[in-house]
Amino acid sequence: MVECCKNLKHLDILSDRVSESALIKLTELENLEYLMLPRVEEISSNTIMAISKNCKKLKNLHMPNCIDNENDDDDDEPVVPMVIFNEISNLQLLLLVSLNLSGMDDLPESSIIAITNKCKNMTYLDLSFCGNLTEAALMSITNLEKLKTLNITGVEDVKDEFIMKLKGINFFACCGCDKVTDAGLIQLINNCPDLEHLYIYSINLTIDTIIAADKATKDRVNNIILSIYFLNEDVKKASKSIIKSNNWLSLTS
């Protein structure tokens, strides 16, 4: 494959049975722009270093830490070696625009800060279920001026202070982030006039957020409909008599 597909740009490796030597060999596909790696706990720092060294054109790196669904033991969570995190933050991938590290628990603060400092062209970032992200790590994300898509679903320490600083986002998911309030969501909506998808399942949303969304979207001229996804049926019913921006605001429970 490496010999015959020199110009390959997109590669999904979904099997967890690929050997380390094979993964390192595949990094010789130096024209790769998109790379999806298998289960992270199966990848060594040697693989990460090979990616950094060889894949200079890489723009999209997806390496979610998938749990083995065939294992019935709920306590058997995948363990990602700390050295992997260190190598991720050392990647010399300045062209990176899309990064998926979802499910990586105990992701070091220093790794996230290093990534956000280096990858200034980032438009897509998925850190969902990275359970122990610190406030400093989250705040460093606000420095990504080109960021459009952000998924922080399941990150416990997400607070209004972080959300209020986000600008220019068009897709935002923070489902299950219990510390987020109406105040943070309202400021996010006002800061992001091109916001198209807002996923806030399992958040204590009140009618105040809907009123603010209605006000922010009723005069939209960008032809973008704001779709808000949440669970509260009472809020949705109460909103029907309030919403005036029928063309630019959609509520889905």
CATH code of the domain covering residue 92 = 3.80.10.10
Instruction: Identify whether 107 is part of a domain.
Output: yes
- Percent of the chain exceeding pLDDT 90 equals 54
Arithmetic mean of pLDDT, 101-117: 85
- Predicted local distance difference test score (pLDDT) of residue 67: 41
How far is 96 from 52, CA to CA, in rounded Å?
Answer: 11
Position 4 in a domain: no
For residue 218, tell me if it sits in a domain: yes
pLDDT of residue 183 exceeding 80:
yes
Least confident among 80-84, 119-123, 149-153, 211-215: 80-84
Domain presence at residue 120: yes
The rounded distance, in Å, linking the Cα atoms of 104 and 63 is: 9
pLDDT of res. 95: 84
pLDDT (tens digit per residue) in 133-150: 999 999 999 999 999 999
Strand, coil or helix: what is 126?
strand
What is the rounded CA–CA span in Å between residue 79 and residue 30?
Answer: 29
Residue range 196-204: average pLDDT? Answer: 94
In angstroms, the CA 152 to CA 2 distance is: 35
In whole angstroms, what is the distance from residue 46 CA to residue 249 CA?
Answer: 48
Average pLDDT along the chain: 87
- Which helix (H) or strand (E) element contains residue 21? helix 20-26
Q: Which residues contact 21 (CB under 8 A, 6 or more apart)?
A: none
**In 92-166, which ranges are continuous DSSP H helix?**
109-118, 135-141, 160-163
Name, in order, each residue with C-beta under 8 angstroms of 154's C-beta and a sequence gap of 6 or more.
Answer: 128, 129, 130, 131, 175, 176, 177
Segments forming the whole domain that contains residue 113: 10-67+78-252
Is residue 2 domain-resident? Answer: no
Confirm whether 206 is domain-assigned. yes
Q: Say how many domains are in the chain.
A: 1
Helices (H), 73-206: 82-89, 109-118, 135-141, 160-163, 182-191
